[in-house]
Amino acid sequence: MDDEIMIFAAISVALMSAASQSAAQEPPAAPVLSLPAPDQGASLPDTTEPEVLQNAQTYAAYRSDVTLAGERELLSGADLDATMDALSQYYDGDRLVNAQIAYAALVAARNPEFIDAVRAVADYYGTETAAAALTHDPMYVTGFMGADTAGQTVAVAIDGDVTDIREVGARYRQAAYDLQHERWAQQRARDRQERLSSLESASERLDVQFRAPETPAAAPMGASATLFAQPEVVDLNLPDLSVEVGQSQLQPDERRVGRMLSLAALDAIEDGDMTYMDRLLDDPAVERCMAWVRLDLAQCVAAGHFKYEDSFCIAEHALNDVADCLTATRAPTEAVSN
């Protein structure tokens, strides 16, 4: 196994070298965050595993609920309860973590140069050797031709989603102050145990009804709201991700994004075997972060005395803390120092 991994690492170096020589001959233009059309007009690879697609659909459903939370009128305690319960459906165990990784893998798979490089290595050395090397260290995949573009596309798409979550969080944080002038929000909250029980069982009520869309192949892949069709389309004025990036390129968290690219690579070369894919769908560090989200949200709700305080708990823990967990980029200073 070690020999296979060393061979695969050597191929990665060779691919990076080839990419460097090509770059020296022809200076690349600034990348554009509008994904090129995949071969044969397919919006998603036809080899996409059902488990990957199902997880990605869960992420799209989560983003839809964030959008609805941002548009919901807060006219009673029931409105705050609806937001809290809807978001909490996704925070149990590794559900949202797996969902985000799968979604990002589908975004990465829309980059044909990257997928072609993965398949070329797998064809030459065999799927088993390639899969073993990819799961041994997700950083290997970052050396493939096209990986930089795929990684940047993933980072920008996730950054757009995280920004939207924070914007909704800012709305609920402000509402925590504004609602103090509403009589219903000033009343003593006597539903704490009921609230905690509802949060505890929220994950059991999740029922994702999304489906993969029939979209034009050249459609840009940006925030998750553009990835899946929805029964009812809601608009939170999501930022346009089809913009050129040069000086303002994001700094991806290499290990997190590498895991997402590795899943895209495995999805392109595996045929029905989820053994390796299941390893990459897990991200223990982010799962621990989400565990703290659930704990902090429950403690915040339990400590609240008035209904308007629930709006603060939603903002601080159900939205802003989650955005921190899901981010896939580093601050420029952090990226340089590492």
pLDDT in tens, 288-318: 999 999 999 999 999 988 999 999 999 999 9
Q: Write the DSSP symbol of residue 252.
A: E
Residues 164 and 66: beta-carbon distance below 8 Å = yes
Q: Is residue 32 part of a domain?
A: no
Is residue 21 scored above 70 in pLDDT?
no
Averaging pLDDT over each range in 8-22, 139-153, 164-178, which range is the top one? 164-178
Query: Do residues 110 and 221 make contact, with C-beta atoms less than 8 angstroms apart?
Result: yes
Top-confidence residue, 192 or 66 = 66
Residue 277 is assigned to a structural domain of this protein: yes
pLDDT single digits (tens) 195-238? 888 888 776 667 665 444 443 333 333 445 445 444 333 332 32
Q: Is residue 134 part of a domain?
A: yes
- As for how many domains the chain has, the answer is 1
Instruction: Please say if the pLDDT value at position 120 is more than 70.
Output: yes
- Residue at 266 is within a domain: yes
Cβ–Cβ < 8 Å for 64, 161: no
3-state secondary structure at position 306: strand
Give the type of residue at 26: E
Residue 238, in any domain of the structure: no
Highest mean pLDDT among 47-51, 57-61, 200-204: 57-61
Residue 39 maps to a domain? no
**Above pLDDT 90, what percent of the chain?**
46
- Comparing 172-186, 202-216, 254-268, 320-334, the range with the smallest average pLDDT is 202-216
Query: How far is residue 271 from each of residues 131, 267, 315, measured CA to CA in Å?
Result: 11, 8, 42
In a domain, 312, yes or no: yes
Helix (H, G, I), strand (E, B) or coil at 223: coil
Inside any domain, residue 88: yes
Better-predicted residue by pLDDT, 86 or 213: 86
The angle formed by the CA atoms of residues 95, 100 and 105, to the nearest 5 degrees, is 130
Q: Which domain holds residue 57?
A: 2-13+46-204+252-337
